[in-house]
Amino acid sequence: MKTKVIGKGVPKIDSVAKATGEATYTVDMKLPRMLYGKILRSDHPHAKIRSIDISQAEALEGVHAVITAKDVPQNKFAFFQWQADKTILCEDKVRYVGDEVAAVAAVDEDTATKALELLVVDYEPLPAVFDPAEAMKPSAPLIHDKEKNVAFRVERLFGDPDKAFKECDHICEGDYVTDKVPHCCLEVSNTIAKWDPGPDGYLTIWVNSQAPHTQRQEVARILGIPRRQVRIINSVMGGGFGSKLVMDMKVPIAAILSRKTGRPVKIVNSRSEEFSTAKTRYGYRVYVKTGAKKDGRLWAREMRVVADNGAYNDKGPATLNFSSMMFATLYNIPHIKYEGMMVYTNKQMGTAFRGFGNPQCSFACESQLDELAARLGMDPLELRLLNANQPDQVTSCGSEITSCGMRECMEASAKAAGWKEKRKARRRLHGIGMANLVHTGGGGRFYGYNSAEAFIKLAEDGSVSLITSALDMGQGAHTVMAQIAAEELGVTTDAIQVISNDTAVTPYDLGSWGSRTTFMNGNAVLAAARDAKKEIIGVASEMMEVEPGQIVLEDGMVFARGAKDKYTLTEVADYAFNKRGRLLSGKGQYTNMLPPGLGIAEAFVKNIPTFAFGTQMAEVEIDEETGEVKVLKLVSANETGRTLNATLAEGQVEGMVVQGIGYALMEKMVLENGKVINDGFLDFKMPNIGDIPEIETVLVETHDPEGPFGAKGIGESGLVPTAAAIANAIYDACGVRVRELPIDPERLLEAIRG
């Protein structure tokens, strides 16, 4: 079968609907008799709730319900239930500015907003703590009813680092700081809940979730109802980046308001609420120590992370753990020590964000590697090439690397960026820097398994429906799934209808996260397409009276090798349905289990089914008077396994690079007594069209043995090394090493003058 669509730049199948405004987002939906919900949020970072007076709000015309903690289940929630610490509404204490205290449902948004103003809460302010280091001190106020504010701890040890550092000829160490930053999706967090009446009331939720099946479990758990009574319907999503992976409290709040009123209830964040209450990337304070032999071989590395958890647990433990995996895997360093602590503070909670703890550690480690190169008198590229990961390698920490394009990424990016020439040129306030990355290319077995399922069915007219749980957040997942099915069935993507938005229809799936969609869901779709193809071939061989091995599917036609007659897929389907009463369908499943005998915690890097590597090189220019850094060009070489859609892959990388530039140079949340004061796009600085440099994307193919058609996921990797590459370029330009993000003009000028 000839390759028709794999590797081609097929346009996104939903691009026209989104460009014309025909795509329906949850915020566009309006159900019959729908009410509008609003949430009363704490204006204190830490306080006891003495009392709540709801009488005036309840009396307001147009208000249908007012709820407080006494009206909701007091089940506690967290992504990991053993860490549960969050209730739907606060009962006795608030822990950050934005904590949910009460909620209303009214006939329109204006009435709901007025009702919030009529709610009277009597608070007793408590001491608050906003810095994780301060929160760890014995004298710090306790945010939860625990002995200390350390919510979670991770420790990893490989080899003998203490002994190994004594054997090193050169050692670098230092502290690096990254900030909490918001996801800044164009679509704000929102939901609609409709609770049908009756003793076994059925709850339907429309929401923009990255993991609807696991969110269905979360909703059932916190409401204390069976999962079979919950249905999640995903609308078109306007960006996720990890922010919509774990349930937001507005979902159960809307559900309870709907049950109380008997009507659908819609809750939508304002942009201010999105900035101040939606979850953020975790801020890290990282201590790193790296030792090398005099020939440049990396011999030992140590890292300590103190991370800002915010007021409640979410993805913190998983993020800290993943950071340790990537830290231990990038370069095969024999002696590794890692300690991570996730610490409660009186700030909004963190969650998953593209890169999942890897960008924070990459900034620290790859910045320090340039410092070590200077100590060694080596070119930073030469040092990295010397220590590059290799194909079919098992590292000292146990990472099982199969395909690996790390060296190829470095060589390709160096050529595209003109690394050697520009390093020799040495122009004042003009520099070039680089950084490497490793990331998962297929999610992880963090549940003890990693699996996906898909179904394909053909209608009597030959049209193909693909039922998959692969969610499209804008990254083009539906298009890639359609390409995989089309390639195997010998049709164009136009012939494939993708259905993926309803837990009542789609198979169970862990969600779109961890760059797993292409690898996991793609393998399931490929298996389903092969199963369906087998059915089609069976019918066609009977129809044409030839052996199944002679049948070919190509360009939407079905024919026997060497025969003149060709049939459309419609004709074959019509024959199957109307002459033989036979249904044509396919089922596919891909399961990736942990090795036998290993628990999830013990498995460590063996949780990762495949690793993806990459390199970025950034060229910058610094304004000496203002401290402004202008990124002139950024080359990003990313290992794709096999590129399934070059246009979408390049678009993904370009988007990640822009996010990385914002993370490196601009994005900073400004808080006063725990309150976010730059809570809108006018005040929060992030890249706009004028800040985007020339971006050159190099897609390095290595063909992964497990990936669909050899592919790996690249949905996160392009963001991981950007901040480090820019920081290294700044050092090359002006000789100043800035170890705190963002490297904004004020911070850089202070460092230069210092």
Rg (Cα) of the chain, in Å, rounded? Answer: 27
Contacts of 594 (CB under 8 A, 6+ apart): 445, 448, 449, 600, 603, 606, 607
Angle at 228 between CA 222 and CA 233, to 5 degrees: 80
CA 727 to CA 364: how far, in whole Å?
10
Q: In the predicted model, is pLDDT for residue 337 greater than 80?
A: yes
Q: Find out whether 587 and 455 touch, Cβ atoms under 8 Å.
A: yes
CA 232 to CA 411: how far, in whole Å?
46
For 51, which DSSP code? E
How many Å separate Cα 13 from the centre of its chain?
22
pLDDT tens, residue by residue, 480-518 = 999 999 999 999 999 999 999 999 999 999 999 999 999
SS3 505: coil
CA 98 to CA 108: how far, in whole Å?
22
Instruction: Give the neighbor-by-neighbor strand order of the sheet with 150-158.
Output: 150-158, 335-344, 298-310, 283-292, 170-177
Q: Give the pLDDT score at 158.
A: 96
Q: Give the pLDDT score at 2.
A: 53
For the chain, the first-to-last Cα distance in angstroms comes to 65
Q: Which among 371, 417, 402 is positioned nearest to 610, based on CA atoms?
A: 402
Q: Give the pLDDT score at 605.
A: 83
SS3 483: helix
Confidence of residue 603 (pLDDT cuts 50, 70, 90): confident
CA 315 to CA 328: how far, in whole Å?
20
SS3 391: coil
Mean pLDDT within 382-396: 96
**517: burial class by Cβ within 10 Å (0-12, 13-18, 19+)?**
buried
Confidence of residue 597 (pLDDT cuts 50, 70, 90): confident
Q: 320 has which bridge partners?
A: none
Q: Find out whether 629 and 665 touch, Cβ atoms under 8 Å.
A: yes
Contacts of 72 (CB under 8 A, 6+ apart): 87, 88, 89, 252, 253, 256
Written as six digits, the tokens of 500 are 């993926």
- Distance (Å) of CA 186 to CA 311, 549, 717, 746: 25, 51, 21, 28
Q: Can you count the helices (H) and strands (E) in the chain?
A: 20, 30
Q: Give the pLDDT score at 1.
A: 45
**What are the φ and ψ backbone dihedral angles of 139, each rounded to 5 degrees?**
-85, -5
Confidence of residue 454 (pLDDT cuts 50, 70, 90): very high
Q: In the predicted model, is pLDDT for residue 600 greater than 70?
A: no
Written as six digits, the tokens of 168 are 């090193």
pLDDT tens, residue by residue, 657-684 = 999 999 999 999 999 999 999 999 999 9
Q: Find out whether 296 and 144 touch, Cβ atoms under 8 Å.
A: no
Q: Note the pTM of the prediction, 2 decimals.
A: 0.96
Count the neighbouring beta carbons within 10 Å of the beta carbon of residue 565: 7
Average pLDDT, the chain: 95
SS3 66: strand
Look at strands 464-468 and 496-499 and give their pairing: parallel
Confidence of residue 80 (pLDDT cuts 50, 70, 90): confident
pLDDT tens, residue by residue, 27-60 = 999 999 999 999 999 999 999 999 999 999 999 9
The H or E element that residue 299 is part of is strand 298-310
Q: In the predicted model, is pLDDT for residue 640 greater than 60?
A: yes
Per the listing, tokens 């690249």 go with: 714
pLDDT tens, residue by residue, 189-238 = 999 999 998 777 899 999 999 999 999 999 999 999 999 999 999 989 99
Residues in the chain: 754
Residue type, 86: K
Q: In the predicted model, is pLDDT for residue 599 greater than 90?
A: no
Q: Give the pLDDT score at 3.
A: 52
pLDDT tens, residue by residue, 695-725 = 999 999 999 999 999 999 999 999 999 999 9
Mean pLDDT within 350-378: 97
pLDDT tens, residue by residue, 233-276 = 998 999 999 999 999 999 999 999 999 999 999 999 999 999 99
Helices (H), ranges, 41-151: 55-59, 109-118, 132-135
The H or E element that residue 552 is part of is strand 551-554
SS3 155: strand
Q: Give the pLDDT score at 606.
A: 86
Confidence of residue 564 (pLDDT cuts 50, 70, 90): confident
Domains and CATH numbers, the chain: 15-22+449-593 (3.30.365.10), 31-126+186-239+244-277 (3.90.1170.50), 283-444+600-753 (3.30.365.10)
pLDDT tens, residue by residue, 437-450 = 999 999 998 888 89
The DSSP code sequence of 307-357 is EEEESS-SSHHHHHHHHHHHHHHSS--SEEEEEEEEEE-SS--B---TTTT
Mean pLDDT within 264-289: 97
Count the neighbouring beta carbons within 10 Å of the beta carbon of residue 107: 16
Residue type, 461: D
